[in-house]
């Protein structure tokens, strides 16, 4: 499980160090990095991405919107291997999507983790106070 928030930096080649706690969770698996829907990057283990992709594969191809978003998932995803220093190389396309230049925030998202531009992360991580969070979760009408 991927938990916590970490501040890191891209090196000149576009590589980022994966937090050691995450590397322990990943083990020997490859990673799949894809464009997130909030101007971020989403990082899955290969097994985690296969589970995610399977849900897309189960949708009918008879609906144009399903085909469109399935293409989005398939064409924006890239395999990334962790090197001996614990880094992955983010392609220019991925860095551009998330507007990553130097500093980044890595945030746990339970079954995957995300990579953010710090300014964008500040915008999306203002969760409000505890009562506001509770009310928003209740409004989702889900049982956790």
The CA–CA distances, whole Å, from 22 to 7, 8, 88, 106 equal: 14, 13, 12, 10
> Residue 101: its pLDDT value, please?
95
For the chain, the structural domain boundaries read 5-139
pTM here is: 0.89
Give 18's Cβ-side CA count (13 Å radius): 30
* CA angle (41 as vertex; 130, 138 as ends), nearest 5: 25
CATH of domain 5-139: 3.40.1550.20
Question: Is 91:14 a contact under the CB 8 Å cutoff?
Answer: yes
**Each residue's pLDDT tens digit, 103-143:** 999 999 999 999 999 999 999 998 777 887 788 788 887 77
Compute the Cα dihedral for 106, 97, 80, 17 and give only its sign.
negative
């Amino acid at each position: 499980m991927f938990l916590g928030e970490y501040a890191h930096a891209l090196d000149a080649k576009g590589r980022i160090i994966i937090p050691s706690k995450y590397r322990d969770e990943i083990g020997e698996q490859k990673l799949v990095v894809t464009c997130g829907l909030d101007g971020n990057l989403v990082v899955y283990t290969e097994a985690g991405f296969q589970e995610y992709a399977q849900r897309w594969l189960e949708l009918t191809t008879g609906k144009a919107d399903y085909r469109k978003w399935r293409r989005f998932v398939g064409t924006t995803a890239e395999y990334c291997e962790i090197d001996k220093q614990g880094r992955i190389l983010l392609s220019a396309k991925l860095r551009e999507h998330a507007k990553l230049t130097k500093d980044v925030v890595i945030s746990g998202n339970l079954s995957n983790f995300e990579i953010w531009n710090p300014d964008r992360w500040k915008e999306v991580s203002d969760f409000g106070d505890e009562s506001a969070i509770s009310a928003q979760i209740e409004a989702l009408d889900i049982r956790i």
